Chain A
């Protein structure tokens, strides 16, 4: 008896099928449901950008606090030198974390004892500014060190 292998054809897919699930079903699952979830989240989530009230964090200050200071503050930019060269707060000193040892000398030349230091980085959650502020407090013994809430983005928004 002869043995033949009957290779069955794949199930007909057609233009509106991708495997076992139809394309409209995939669009529903992967586009419509996330879209619906996002809309509901935007409406009800208290942490949405338009609902959110940022609680004050210890060591963080905002631009209003800076403006209210009787003496000028020294802004310290914790971002990279490339980012600093593209734009920075007027009068700021660049103090990138990755080249701290070489940049700290320039910083100490500019800083007057007693002058408040306000460290910032790119965005509200960039984190570099907090790390640098902690380093300046712990390693260099500076006590009047603050972090600018919202970072450079916030300053740029306020000065547009």
Chain B
């Protein structure tokens, strides 16, 4: 008996194909978004520094560090989402990044600060916080789908009760 015999009975083929396609689609979209966003920021760090400073959350030195570190982290984590053995780690990092972005946007909204989100390298346009938050929520959902289930659910089989009566009784003669 193999380990696969212990797994839950497989879903119908169409359903499995649908989920598989959905997960790969989510992986491709989320990875593309983060690789693009990171790439644009890598090309123009000066603009991204200004965008981070517009949030009024970090001192200048920290903003400078984030402006050079974060874009590469986005690129690496976005690509790692496509590698099975790194998928969960990458997914957790992307979720943490998205939550951090949401905290930044939320505090700017509460404090009434005019921010430039800098999400895609600072395109110079004023950015309204609500659409930004909705976009982050959509990316969180996409990342969760891309990560897939934590582990396959296992089904343990019951040992059948002993049928004593059907056994022949052998007596030593």
Contacts and interface: CB of A to CB of B under 8 A. Distances in A.
A26 to B, nearest CB: 5
A19 B89 contact: yes
A41 B126 contact: no
B14 to A, nearest CB: 27
Contacts of B125: 127, 131
Interface stretch (A47-55, A99-107, A138-146): A47-55
A42 B68 contact: yes
A116 interface: no
Nearest to B127: A127
Contacts of B3: 6-8
Contacts of A48: 45-46
B112 A18 contact: no
A47 B46 contact: yes
Given A4-B159, A33-B76, A49-B45, A123 B116 contact: yes
Nearest to A7: B6
Nearest to B122: A125
B154 interface: yes
A124 B45 contact: no
Main SS at interface, chain B: helix
A52 B45 CA distance: 10
Given A47-B46, A49-B64, A123-B54, A30 B77 contact: yes
Given A5-B156, A7-B6, A80-B114, A125 B54 contact: yes
Interface in A57-88: 78-83
Given A47-B46, A49-B49, A5 B157 contact: yes
A130 interface: yes
Interface in B151-173: 154-157, 159-160
Interface of B: 1, 3, 5-6, 42-47, 49-51, 53-54, 64-65, 68-73, 75-77, 80, 85-86, 88-90, 93, 111-116, 118, 122, 124-127, 154-157, 159-160
Interface of A: 2-8, 18-21, 26, 29-30, 33-35, 37-39, 41-42, 45, 47-49, 52, 78-83, 97, 121-128, 130-131, 153
